[in-house]
Structure 1
Amino acid sequence: MTMPTNESAMSASLARRWRLWIITGLLTAGAITVFVLGRRHSTTSTAVSSTPSSGHDMGGMQTGAAPSSDGNAIQITASQIRQFGITFGTVERRTLESTVRTVGTVTVDEARRSQVVLKIGGYVERLYVDQTGQRVRRAQPMLDVYSPELVAAEQELLVAGNFARSVRGSSVPGAPGASIDLVAAARRRLELWDISGAQIEDILRTGKARRSLTLHAPASGVVLQKNVVQGQAIQPGQMLYDIADLSEVWVDVALREADVGAVRVGSTASVQFAGYPGAPLAGRVAYVYPTLDSASRSMRARIEVPNRSGRLMPGMYATVALTTPSRTALTVPSSAVLRTGDRALVFVDKGGGRLEPQAVQLGRETGDFTEVVDGLTTGQRVVTSAQFLLDSESNLGEVMRGMIGQRGTSDIPNAQDMQSMPGMTAPAPGESGMNDRGARVKGPSVRDTTMKGMPMSPNRR
């Protein structure tokens, strides 16, 4: 009977030992965790406390430079000039020989354009030129037109001619002269309808009215439009053919408002076409339109380009380079100009490492140089590099601080300041000391055991 009692006691003792080992393992793991986190917290605190408060490098930029007493001027050192790679240029008077580049479209020379128009009504009996784009020569037959009104006028001419011949030897006073006037009036009527003198003489010679009238090309060229077909009825004043001489064409270009004063009549142009690469054609500015497009803020100019080969066609796109007259002007390197919204700035070297921003008024830009209309004088030194440090959207103070590295640790808010910022929550600084904490462990009682807890910030107490 004592055997079960001993076995029960041994089982209870073994269970207590197992619980003791489990509790000891948990406590050991907790102690290791506390040690590791404590080291990490200590390292972080050391890094924060070792951050310089002033007079040290931050982000590779020295903060020793300070604003000058002259308003927005700034003071930099020689080491900062080398560190940021700042270079300088000189304001000088230079000869500007600029080239204005733009695009254009080939159009027809309006002075080389003509139309075939019938001044009386009629019907198309025959077409000699029946295709758009067909080339024609001057005086080449275009079409035959039947017009009852024209036939009646020809009959009047024949009657007047016969009457004049019959009264040529008449003794009636004024009869011969009146007959001559009738012939002249009938002849004049046909001439006003563009009937040639040769056709009128042929009617008088044969004594027969022609049924149809042949219209001829007024000039050599290419048929751009054909508005007539066989058998069509024609109204007086209707345009039948549109003919253009393309031996010389126009190239209409759009000029920026800033380039209007540079381009003049007579300026030479180099015109390049995508269809004929590597073969630019020489042209000349023949006209500058007197109006400005208010929507695009551009003005048009007309360039005359020879086209004896006939390769250029209306509607083709062209790339144009216009050579403007050379002149001497006060210039500054273009890399020195900072465009900040509605104005332009240049940093002027005042000597002794002092840089002062100067507002300038700019003119034309030619290659690597920009004309200065107002704000600078000859011989001044200006900053020409390290412009990436300046933000065109920032105000002037931020621009200068970013350029010379004036943002130091004094500009960084501390934790106490961040606590008072709206919407900002910063961790409280770490604390050391003894804190009373309570813990409850389930299971058999354990003696001679020490528990350690993780440090907690005041906000989590």
Structure 2
Amino acid sequence: MTMTKTNKHKILGILFLLILVSLAIYKYGSSIPLINKIPIFTDEHEHEYRPVFDEKGEIDYWTCAMHPSVRLKEPGQCPICGMDTVEVWKKDNSQTKPVTQAKVEDQDRAEDGEDMTGMQGHDHSRMGVPTKKDNGEEAKSTFSVSPQRQQLIGVKTEPVMVRTLDKEIRTVGMVTLDESKIYNVQTKFSGWIDRAYVDYKWQHVSIGQPLFSIYSPELVTAQEEYLLALKSKNILSDSQFTDISSGADSLLKASRRRLELLDVSASQIKELERTGEVKTNLTVYSPVKGHVAQKNAFENMHVEPNTLLYKIADHTTAWVQIDIYENEISLVKLGEKATMTLASFPGEVFEGEITFIWPHIDPETRTVKARLEFPNPDLRLLPEMYADVTLDIPMGEKLTIPDSAVLRTGKQDVVFVDKGNGDIEIRRVELGQKAGGYYEVLRGLKSGEQVVSRANFLIDSESKIQAAVATWGDEPQGDQEPTQKLEIQLEQEMDNDSETQQLELHNH
């Protein structure tokens, strides 16, 4: 009986120890290094390497997988989304260095895209927060990412340099009539239209093509007076009295002038002189080559000098009207060359130039209209045709950066400047026009500096960017120190994938 109790005590002791060991494994087993289970990566030189973790397995803090900015001392739930927090293990601080200092530079004196060396003596070492001092000096945020980590996440830099920019503006245009070459056809005498040779709108006419014939008593009288003056001139030309012969000449000239004022052509007057017969009907011819834009002439219609009979548009030059946005108005000048393509003529390019720019903005479209002229000798460009217009505007040599290097936060434009040795600086810039994939730099950078043009997600949290930009907007009063901090948690963000893999392994 005694042996049985002793055995039971031993068994219970063994079970108790097993329970303690199980609890210890359950609680501390996740801290066991899992290096052998972490995948092997290959760099651009085909060297294999494996991410290194602290074998001590000491937990640094708890965070949310969806909100890395959340840091808790104890496990729990994310105060933002309610997800369970995950542990973050301490790593070697040599991999990623925290913010060490803020280099204060006088960016307000950086004219023509050049940075001036900053004023020293104002301590921002507690946090690299962009801010402004009372004298207008602007601090800049600097952080460090090792070259190995930059290579891992695909960071690419490009130099700030002077480039020749050509701005290409694409817009849509519409073909219209050349208003300076629209001719009205009217008579300068009353009469009746005997016959209309051009009898429908938009009919094509050539110079000298008959439009209509008209009977006018006034015109008949003018012809008779001219024939009479011509006869008198022939009879009195040999008169011994100089006044009589000169009077006959003056009468003939006046009669001829009257016919010309009634739009009787020189060839018609010559025919009248040759035949000596008065024509009851006068034929009116087209003064230009083009299309009949308006027609009001009908046979047997009575007309007066103020009656508009035809409106003919000379369409050998076509107008094209385009819209230009407000931010591009300063680039567009008279005489700028333009090219045009139309769906009606695939593969064909028309060349023209800007001849007029409207002096006001359309309040509905917020654009400025401009007029282009294109040669149209064969009259293929028809009114109301839609066209794709391209303006190639040379901007000259400008200090530029790639457009992919710019982070637009709404009120400010910022770039990441590579200072070398893994140091990266967040800097505000002022930009001009964008052309050919590059921005013109007006202020904030100087030639030769390197800017990050790819993998700008190093600081991809909008809240962090906004925190930095907000401090630029306001100046502290007196000697007030900036209270808003830019928490750049680079370790958490750059190792997010590795931590996710580790979490998945722990769950297994």
Equivalent residue, structure 1, for 2:266: 197
Shift of 1:252: 2.8
What's the counterpart of residue 404 of structure 1? 488
Q: 1:158 to 1:335 in 2, by over 3 A?
A: same
Distance 2:297 2:456 in 1: 67
Counterpart pick for 2:143 among 65, 75, 79: 75
Decide which of 466, 469, 472 is 1:395's aligned counterpart: 466
* 8 Å CA contact 2:294, 2:312 repeated in 1: yes
CA RMSD of aligned residues (A): 3.8
- AA of the residue aligned to 2:143: Q
SS in 2 for 1:215: strand
| 1:316 is the counterpart of 2:385 | yes
Distance 1:238 1:286 in 2: 36
1:172-229 alpha-carbon deviations (Å, 9 max, x no partner) = 5622221221121111011012111222233344444322221111122332322322
**CA deviation map 1:307-334 (0-9, x unaligned):** 4454321111111222223632211110
1:127 shift after superposition: 0.5
State the Cα distance separating 1:76 from its structure 2 match.
Answer: 4.8
Mapping for residues 161-240 of structure 1, pairs under 5 Å: 161-170=230-239, 174-240=243-309
- Alignment partners' CA distance in 1, 2:279 and 2:261: 17
Letter of the 1:129 counterpart: V
Q: Paired residue for 2:348?
A: 280
Q: How far 1:362 sits from its partner (Å)?
A: 1.7
In the alignment, which residue of structure 2 is the partner of 1:132?
A: 201
Whether contact under 8 Å (2:434, 2:440) holds in the other structure is yes
Alpha-carbon shift at residue 293 of structure 1 (Å): 2.4
TM-score by length of 2: 0.60
Distance in 2 (CA, whole Å) between partners of 1:136 and 1:186 is 32
* TM-aligned CA deviation for residue 124 of structure 1: 1.6
Counterpart residue identity of residue 488, structure 2: I
Q: Percent identity?
A: 34
Count of equivalent residues: 357
Do the aligned partners of residues 184 and 390 (structure 1) sit closer, same or farther apart at CA in structure 2, a change above 3 Å counting?
farther
Please tell me the residue identity of whatever aligns with 2:468. G
Larger Rg: 1
Q: How does 1:425-436 map to 2 (within 5 A)?
A: none
Determine the C-alpha separation between the residues in 1 that align with 2:396 and 2:373. Answer: 25
Alignment partner of 1:174: what SS? helix
Please tell me the residue identity of whatever aligns with 2:221: A
Are the structure 2 counterparts of residues 312 and 114 from structure 1 closer, same or farther at C-alpha, using a change threshold of 3 Å?
Answer: same
AA aligned to 1:284 is G
Kindly indicate whether the alpha-carbon contact (under 8 Å) linking 2:210 and 2:284 is maintained by their aligned counterparts in 1. yes
In structure 2, the residue matched to 1:337 is 406
In 2, Cα distance between equivalents of 1:154 and 1:399: 90
Q: Which residue type is aligned with residue 145 of structure 1?
A: I
CA distance in 2, matches of 1:393, 1:252: 46
Match of 1:360 in 2: 429
**What is the one-letter code of the residue matched to 1:150?**
L
Q: CA deviation at 1:286?
A: 4.8
Match of 1:269 in 2: 338
- Counterparts of 1:10-21 in structure 2, within 5 Å, are none
- Counterpart in the other structure of 2:212: 143
Is the 8 Å Cα contact of residues 105 and 315 (structure 1) preserved in structure 2?
A: yes
One-letter code aligned to 2:65: G
Deviation of residue 87 (structure 1)?
4.4
1:59 aligns with 2:65: yes
Segments of structure 2 that go 5 or more residues without pairing to the other structure are 1-26, 28-57, 72-96, 103-123, 131-140, 472-484, 493-508
**TM-score normalized by the length of structure 1:** 0.65
1:120-147 per-residue CA deviation (whole Å, 9 max, x = no partner) reads: 2332221011122222222111101222
Per mean C-alpha deviation after superposition, the further-off stretch among 306-315 and 129-138 is 306-315
Ranges in structure 1 where 5+ consecutive residues have no aligned partner = 1-45, 47-51, 409-461
Asked whether 1:104 is paired with 2:173, we answer yes
